[in-house]
Amino acid sequence: MKLVVPIYFLIYFLFSQDTLVIIENQIITKNDFIKRSEYTIRPTYCNSDKNLDKKIILNSLIAEKLLAIKNKDEFDIDETNLIQGIKEQAMRKVMLENTVNSSLVIDENKILDLLNKSLYDYKIDFITINHNEIFLVNQDLNLNKSYKEIIKNLKHRNNQKYIKFEEISYDDIYQEFYTSDINVGDIIGPIKTLNDNYILINVLSKKKNILIDTESQKNQYENVKSYLIKSESYKIRKNYIQKIMKGKTIEFNENSFFNLADYFYDQEKKPIKTDDIIFTLANRDWSIEDLIEINKLNPVLFREPYKNKNEFYNQFKLSLVDLIQNYFLTKKAYELNLSSHPAVVKEGEIWSSYLSANSEKDKIINANQSLLKNLNTEYEVLEKILNKELEILFVENSDKILIDVEMFNGIKLSNIDMLVINTNQPYQLNVPPFPRLTTKNNLDYGTKKDS
């Protein structure tokens, strides 16, 4: 019998070496398969790297697409704030990545200079200073007072730690210690921290580590180069954001701010007036209702945890600043037409398929209430209800599914549970949760692309 392959199969495979599966006009890439397997928690029935488990994973991803296609006319995904919010987050990410890619230049001399500085470790004393004390500290520094005199005046407890290049996680510390020459006795700071406090540092000792073997030297070079790329990328993004936000100063209305903050903080919600002006920005009065609208697509995210109400007020104010910053970044991304960027479209499609498929899954389960009452576990629900329904879909759509078997067989997976998240982002899951839809462990359907 002559095999007839639909033209869209040929087009996709001609232009994408990463395409693993095609279902009508939907694709699953090799990268999708790996990320949906390794960036989220897989259920126990398919959490190894065995071929049988890989088939369950592949069938689950294909089942997700089939259910989403079946449900496309009933599930209005365009009205889902979650999808739009995720797409706008992807737009901001693409915009900043494009900015970095077009501007990043790493000079070899800069790498070698940092390589030399990276070999030094420092022992330091330091104190944490709040914003109310910063004026006094700067005043003492201008009078050339010693570190001991400064901490004595503040009556602060002194702390000690070691600064090592490979352990640095805060860019401003890196800028102070590894982009200039530091000597014993230097007082560094005050340096502003992420939680809006400051630290003042006194350098106690400086020690250079000597790397003798070639392998250690090579690893150190790669670590330095990687850190430099990360640091320079961070500065490029920061400068780009500052340009967008230039001249945009927020002036809070204290009464409205505290009313809204108390509304978020307190368990018993007191009524608030949504037309109250909470701040002025860019020659415009912004009401609480304006923030509520923005928050639908860009949920408020706190930079740091808080221990009491005063800390909450500070973190809440910072979260509103971040909310408004994201608003203007998103506006710029739309101006650059990034809503149609392939990576943004792809992100929206992946999450749309996940939500739509789960909506259809719920319909199937609800339609089988008579069976459901005798089932005690999720696995039993898959085995007794969903497998049967999905088998019909696999058979009905068999001629619309093309699988690159050679690519599939070459995929190696980790069996270590991981959950990858986007830190400091409103939508933190890197990929949707694993689609718990089927335990089917064979590929007895579809057209196979063997080579």
The distance of Cα 105 from the centroid of its chain, to the nearest Å, equals 25
Q: Give the DSSP H/E element, type plus range, for residue 310.
A: helix 309-335
**What are the residue boundaries of the structural domains of the chain, listed by start?**
7-92+345-449, 108-243, 248-335
pTM assigned to the model: 0.82
Q: Are 185 and 95 in contact (CB under 8 A)?
A: no
3-state secondary structure of 61: helix
Q: Are 296 and 286 in contact (CB under 8 A)?
A: no
Q: What distance in Å separates the CA atoms of residue 27 and residue 229, rounded to the nearest whole number? A: 33
**pLDDT tens across the length of the chain (451 residues):** 334 445 444 544 444 678 999 998 889 999 999 999 999 999 999 998 899 999 999 999 999 999 999 987 776 655 578 899 999 999 999 999 999 999 998 889 999 999 999 899 999 888 888 877 888 888 878 888 888 888 888 877 888 888 888 887 667 777 788 888 888 988 888 888 766 788 888 899 999 988 888 999 999 999 899 988 988 898 899 999 999 999 999 999 999 999 999 988 886 677 889 999 999 998 899 999 999 999 989 988 888 888 888 889 999 999 999 999 999 999 999 999 999 999 999 999 999 999 999 999 999 999 998 888 888 899 999 999 999 999 999 999 999 999 999 999 999 998 787 888 887 888 999 999 999 999 999 999 988 876 5
- Among 401, 387, 389, smallest CA distance to 438 is for 387
DSSP output for 143-204: TT--HHHHHHHHTPPPEEEEE-GGG---HHHHHHHHSS---TT-EEEEEE-TTS-EEEEEEE
| pLDDT at position 1 | 34
Helices (H), 71-133: 81-103, 108-117
Looking at this protein, which amino acid is placed at residue 353? Answer: S
Contacts of 45 (CB under 8 A, 6+ apart): 53, 56, 379, 439
* Torsional sign, CA 337, 340, 342, 346: positive
Which residues lie across from 61 on neighbouring strands? none
Residue ranges of E strands in 193-230 = 198-208
Q: What distance in Å separates the CA atoms of residue 387 and residue 389, rounded to the nearest whole number? A: 6
The two tokens of residue 175 are 């800028």
The distance of Cα 273 from the centroid of its chain, to the nearest Å, equals 33
Q: How far apart are the first and last CA of the chain?
A: 20
| pLDDT at position 387 | 95
| Strands 159-163 vs 120-129: parallel, antiparallel or unpaired | antiparallel
| pLDDT at position 170 | 67
* Torsional sign, CA 397, 398, 404, 409: positive
